[in-house]
């Protein structure tokens, strides 16, 4: 294993997973826990936070990633109680669809703002709070990694569909910050990667209204001809951690799916 991921580097290190109460984040939190990390889940769903604590035995906090002061305070608390953060995986997100014009009227700007606030600003909010801990606690051995950050974009960043103006823009923003962050943080031994999932079977997609759900799952990739499973996302996070040459790019995890303008 490389200098960052494998068993020894990850053992006992603090790994924060936002959106870790459900879907891709929950699978990642569990995989990191099994790999020996001290996992901390942040999630806006109080029930999911409780379940992560009670059922999975993880440290979990109720949090809104878009809350500037709240996230700052929480990362200080994590540092004090669990130790400095070495791994950050940002999975928290919302997928509120909506046309920009509805029956001739403009969409409420608040809808757009909230999607961008959670998916894009919420991601940077957690990154900015995790990075100082990675820098300040980097080992004296400068060959060793200071930390690894994995951001969750979406294939909508490239294949945004009708009704995804807000979601696609927010995910395009996430993908767009990966390289500049990797360049900025490289001197501190911190790698930054993005994952752009295709269609995955999670509460986000399963919870859509029946018609939208049928539409989303009708987008069958060339191979494998099915939706992705959350564990396959978690596997890629572990692969990124293990491979020190993966840095500054966003990997599409989609079975070669390319979304049409509308389904």
Ligand X SMILES: NC(=O)c1ccc[n+]([C@@H]2O[C@H](COP(=O)([O-])OP(=O)(O)OC[C@H]3O[C@@H](n4cnc5c(N)ncnc54)[C@H](O)[C@@H]3O)[C@@H](O)[C@H]2O)c1
Which ranges of 35-84 would DSSP assign to H, the alpha helix?
Answer: 46-54, 68-81
Q: How far is the CB of 235 from ligand X (least distance, A)?
A: 15
DSSP one-letter code for 124: H
Q: How far is the CB of 42 from ligand X (least distance, A)?
A: 6
Decide: is 31 part of the binding site for ligand X (CB under 6 A).
no
131 and 87 in contact (C-beta within 8 Å)? no
Residue 147 phi, psi dihedral angles, 5° rounding: 170, 170
Which residues in the chain belong to E strands, given as ranges?
Answer: 14-18, 38-43, 59-62, 85-90, 101-102, 105-106, 147-152, 190-197, 250-253
Task: List the catalytic residue out of 75, 167, 200, 233.
Answer: 167
**Which two three-digit tokens encode residue 253?**
């995890």
Q: How far is the CB of 171 from ligand X (least distance, A)?
A: 7
Alpha-carbon radius of gyration of the chain: 18
For ligand X, the closer of residues 6 and 173 by Cβ is 173
DSSP one-letter code for 122: H
Q: How far is the CB of 162 from ligand X (least distance, A)?
A: 17
Name residues contacting ligand X, limited to 137-176 (CB under 6 A).
152, 154
Among 87, 118, 192, 238, binds ligand X (CB under 6 A): 118
Among 86, 202, 247, 250, binds ligand X (CB under 6 A): 202
Among 35, 185, 197, 241, binds ligand X (CB under 6 A): 197
41 and 61 in contact (C-beta within 8 Å)? yes
Decide: is 19 part of the binding site for ligand X (CB under 6 A).
yes
Cα 15 to chain centroid distance, Å, stands at 12
Query: Long-range contact list for 215-220, CB < 8 A, 24+ apart?
Result: 215/263, 216/263, 218/263, 219/257, 219/259, 219/260, 219/263, 220/257
2 and 243 in contact (C-beta within 8 Å)? yes
For ligand X, the closer of residues 145 and 157 by Cβ is 157
Decide: is 122 part of the binding site for ligand X (CB under 6 A).
yes
Active-site residue flag, 61: no
40 to 79: interface string for ligand X, x by CB under 6 A:
--xxxx--x--------------xxxx-------------
From the list 9-17, 18-26, 28-36, 235-243, the region that binds ligand X by CB under 6 A is 18-26
Q: How far is the CB of 7 from ligand X (least distance, A)?
A: 26
Cα distances (angstroms) measured from residue 166 to each of 15, 32, 155 = 29, 31, 14
Instruction: List active site positions.
Output: 167
Please give the residue ranges that form the binding site for ligand X (CB under 6 A): 18-19, 21-25, 42-45, 48, 63-66, 91-95, 118, 122, 152, 154, 197, 199-200, 202-205
């Amino acid at each position: 294993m490389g200098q960052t991921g494998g068993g020894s580097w990850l053992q006992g290190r603090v790994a924060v997973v936002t959106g870790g109460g459900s879907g891709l984040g929950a699978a990642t939190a569990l995989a990191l826990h099994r790999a020996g990390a001290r996992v901390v889940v942040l999630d806006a769903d109080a029930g999911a936070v409780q379940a992560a604590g009670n059922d999975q035995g993880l440290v979990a906090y109720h949090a809104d990633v878009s809350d500037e002061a709240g996230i700052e305070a929480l990362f200080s608390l994590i540092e004090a109680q669990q130790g400095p953060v070495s791994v950050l995986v940002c999975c928290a997100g919302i997928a509120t669809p909506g046309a920009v014009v509805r029956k001739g009227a403009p969409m409420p700007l608040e809808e757009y703002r909230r999607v961008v606030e959670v998916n894009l600003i919420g991601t940077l909010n957690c990154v900015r709070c995790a990075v100082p801990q990675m820098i300040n606690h980097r080992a004296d051995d400068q060959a060793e990694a200071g930390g690894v950050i994995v951001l969750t974009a979406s294939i909508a960043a490239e294949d945004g569909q009708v009704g995804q103006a807000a979601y696609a823009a927010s995910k395009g923003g996430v993908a767009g910050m990966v390289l500049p962050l990797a360049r900025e943080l490289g001197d501190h031994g911190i790698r930054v990667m993005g994952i752009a999932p295709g269609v995955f079977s999670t509460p986000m997609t399963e919870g859509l209204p029946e018609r939208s759900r049928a539409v989303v799952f009708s987008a069958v990739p060339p191979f494998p001809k099915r939706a992705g499973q959350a564990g396959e996302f978690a596997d890629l996070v572990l692969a990124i951690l293990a491979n020190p040459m993966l840095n500054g790019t966003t990997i599409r995890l989609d079975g070669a799916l390319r979304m049409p303008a509308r389904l």
